[in-house]
Amino acid sequence: MTTIVKDTTAKFAVALVAVAMIFSAFASTASAQEQSAEDLQQMINDLLAQVSNLQSQVGTETSMVTGPASVCPYTWTRNLTSGATGMDVMMLQQFLNADPDTRVAAAGSVGSAGMETDYFGPATGAAVAKYQMKYRAEILTPLGLVAATQYYGNSTRSHMNGSCVSAPVVIIDDIEEDIDDIEEDIDDIEEEDDNSSMTLRGEASLDSLEIDSASDDEIEEGSSNQEVAEVTVEFTDGDAEISRMDVKFERAGADAFNAFETISLWVDGDMIAERDADDEDEFQNDEMTMRFSGLDLFAEEDEEVEIVVAVSTQNNLDSEEIGQWDVSVESMRFFDADGVATTEDDGFGDDFSIAETFTIQVEGTDDELIVKTSSNDPDAATLQVEDDSKSDWYNVFTFDLDTDDSVNDIELNTVDVTVTVSSSTYALIVDDAELVIDGVTIDDVTVDAGTSTVVLTFDVDGDVTINAGDRVEAELMLRFKSLGLGNEGITVMAEVTSTNADDIDAEGADDLDATQLSGAADGDPHTLRTAGVDVSLETTSADTTSVEAASDYGTYSIEVEVTAFEQDVYISTDPAVAVGYDLESSAGSSTAAGTRTVVLESTGDESAGYFEVTEGSTETFTLTVTYTPGEQTAARMLLQDINFAATAIAPDQTQTTLPETDYRTSVVTIND
């Protein structure tokens, strides 16, 4: 039978409050004489699990609201935000923990059901945001808001007060006996606690205090919650409760209240204290010491506690505040198990390191933009263009823009790229250009007055912003005009020179100057043809052979693939006619003639002194040179070009093999 029982509701609420009280008491202590804190906490967790199980037994037509049963009726009378403290904060956390959708923290964590605190921290703000989103129609929409604010303001407070005008009536199905069992278990734990020591132990003394640089030893003006120091303390001979710490900020000729907005302390990623720092009266004295009281920070014997000091800096600082600052711990007050208070100050002694430095920089100082070579830059290739119309768009060059260690995002205004056309002019060969940066196409381009080499200036106009620390690709796309017969085999190459990089117009916190712009990148040359061949490297090799009572010799081999497009291709079987090659030293100079044997082989069909590559097919060509210099020589072989025709006649077209650094063997030394 289902009954409505108000007195059972009250009893259930009392049980939950007892669980909360016991759980809160145990969570902040280190150990017990007969039962460890971990064991006792596990007992509490088990009981809370039983409570959760009882909740699940309530029918779907009922609602077991645990928190408000012990909180409501209650009226919140002030707005709350991060850093606020007080009983109303604890009541707020208890109310939020009543709803699984708005819980402050997971079971067993500080701020969870039974472990509520009187401090409004990030977890409380996040729970308030969940409450605002759950009731967005009543809280956010009337204010014209879409996103939650984490601020416990008038609208949120009014809605919650309206929901907490009276203690709820809980419909319960035969759970009184289970509640009695839970209360008995809690009594057992309380009795065990009476026989235990769940408080501080021993006569604690400060064993070590060290202050080191934190993650943000260089910070900018206008930045928030930058970690500038990490204080590590350890106690011996007992546990301690740190109640107060004085932190001093010094820079010659500067005042801390003119440099900082706030100063805060953090433990395990949670803010435990924060003070306004832009008011001179908040400091202890003219020496700019900030006192943090009421910390109630537990430190277990022989266990290190790390306290991070963070600052938020003001905007538009004067030169006096820009530069290196010293941060030090001036004093620390703590209590031991007997309640004896000890204040460590100037007597820290030589065993303690109590000072560290950090630097405040002008906003944007670390902003930078670096041009770098891209792993996706296209290899040299033959680009098929038209003889009577514009070509397709081709990606001829890809480079990277890297913000590297920038603090701020970088907004691009203009980017310069240099393009070089061989044996003609840019204006006769290229129809149009675009730059695609991180997927954004920039087609507003200005071409300077150059001829074969020009600078393209792309007007990005702020359409691309690169996030701080990101590296993005920029692709130069070119479309070519119809290609006249005299321009077959012409090459085009693009690059970003160091001068181009310096001329980039970009903004971080401010306009980037030449010292913040650097780098360079160059692309491979590409060959333009309406018809002919595409050549790609397969393998290279170089070996030496020793001969008794005769001169040693070297054997060099380069293998390429030749693809014919828009026509058949005929290449002479005579290597002196078919290819251009050279033997050169590592420095690039031609070697002495010596004795050479040159052989050209191909997988293509051979007829009447020519190898044939039919349109659309690919054949392999291998050039092998045996070289006897007659003296000790270090040399390599370079394949320079391939000559061909559309019929079985003397070659009338030449395909240069580019880049030349790809089409050469290694250097080998041939002994006499």
pLDDT tens string 20-70:
444 444 443 333 333 454 555 556 656 655 555 554 444 333 333 444 546
Give the pLDDT score at 58. Answer: 43
- 2 pLDDT band, cuts 50/70/90, is very low
Give the pLDDT score at 166. Answer: 65
With a cut of 90, say whether residue 548 has pLDDT above it: no
Give the pLDDT score at 559. Answer: 98
540's CB contacts (< 8 A; 6+ apart) are 557, 558, 559, 663, 664, 665, 666
Calculate the alpha carbon distances from 213 to 307, 339, 356, 518 in Å. Answer: 12, 33, 6, 30
- Written as one string, the DSSP assignment of 322-365 is SEEEEEEEEEEEEE-TT--EEEESGGG-TT-B-EEEEEEE-TTT
Give the pLDDT score at 208. Answer: 87
With a cut of 50, say whether residue 9 has pLDDT above it: no
The pTM of the full predicted model, rounded to 2 decimals, is: 0.57
Mean pLDDT of 290-303: 93
* C-alpha span between 312 and 289 (Å, rounded): 16
Mean pLDDT of 500-512: 93
* C-alpha span between 513 and 520 (Å, rounded): 16
Asked if 213 and 357 touch (Cβ cutoff 8 Å), the reply is yes
pLDDT over 70 percentage in the chain: 83
Q: If one looks up domain 3-194 in CATH, what number appears?
A: 1.10.101.10
Mean pLDDT of 237-258: 93
With a cut of 80, say whether residue 547 has pLDDT above it: yes
With a cut of 80, say whether residue 339 has pLDDT above it: yes
Architecture, CATH, for domain 369-529: Sandwich (2.60)
The dihedrals phi and psi of 658, each to the nearest 5 degrees, come to -130, 150
With a cut of 80, say whether residue 18 has pLDDT above it: no
Give the pLDDT score at 179. Answer: 57
Mean pLDDT of 144-163: 89
Of residues 213 and 19, the one with the higher pLDDT is 213
Give the pLDDT score at 4. Answer: 30
Mean pLDDT of 574-582: 96
- The whole-chain average pLDDT of the chain stands at 85
């996103």: which residue's tokens?
147
* Six-digit token string for 646: 């559309």
Give the pLDDT score at 167. Answer: 55
- 285 pLDDT band, cuts 50/70/90, is confident
For the chain, the domains span 3-194, 202-361, 369-529, 532-670
Asked if 373 and 379 touch (Cβ cutoff 8 Å), the reply is no
Range with the poorest average pLDDT among 35-39, 380-384, 497-501: 35-39
Mean pLDDT of 661-669: 94
Mean pLDDT of 246-275: 94
Give the pLDDT score at 234. Answer: 93
With a cut of 60, say whether residue 595 has pLDDT above it: yes
Cα-to-chain-centroid distance, residue 143 = 35
Q: Which of 265, 367, 278, 368 is nearest to 321 (CA)?
A: 278
Q: If one looks up domain 532-670 in CATH, what number appears?
A: 2.60.40
Q: If one looks up domain 202-361 in CATH, what number appears?
A: 2.60.40
Of residues 531 and 186, the one with the higher pLDDT is 531
With a cut of 60, say whether residue 434 has pLDDT above it: yes
Q: Pseudo-torsion of CA 291, 293, 299, 303, nearest 10°? A: -10
Range with the poorest average pLDDT among 136-140, 472-476, 551-555, 624-628: 136-140
Mean pLDDT of 143-163: 89
The tens digit of pLDDT for each residue in 388-425 reads 999 999 999 999 999 998 888 999 999 999 999 998 99
Give the pLDDT score at 198. Answer: 40
DSSP 8-state secondary structure symbol assigned to residue 500: H
With a cut of 80, say whether residue 193 has pLDDT above it: no
Range with the poorest average pLDDT among 272-286, 369-383, 440-454, 510-524: 272-286
Domains 3-194 and 369-529 share a fold: no
Mean pLDDT of 170-181: 51
pLDDT over 90 percentage in the chain: 66
Mean pLDDT of 494-523: 95
Give the pLDDT score at 44. Answer: 60
Q: Which of 46, 44, 49 is nearest to 21 (CA)?
A: 44
Asked if 337 and 299 touch (Cβ cutoff 8 Å), the reply is no
Range with the poorest average pLDDT among 56-65, 177-186, 638-647: 56-65
With a cut of 60, say whether residue 131 has pLDDT above it: yes
Give the pLDDT score at 148. Answer: 87
Give the pLDDT score at 510. Answer: 87
- 352 pLDDT band, cuts 50/70/90, is low
- 459 pLDDT band, cuts 50/70/90, is very high
* C-alpha span between 441 and 439 (Å, rounded): 6
Asked if 646 and 610 touch (Cβ cutoff 8 Å), the reply is no
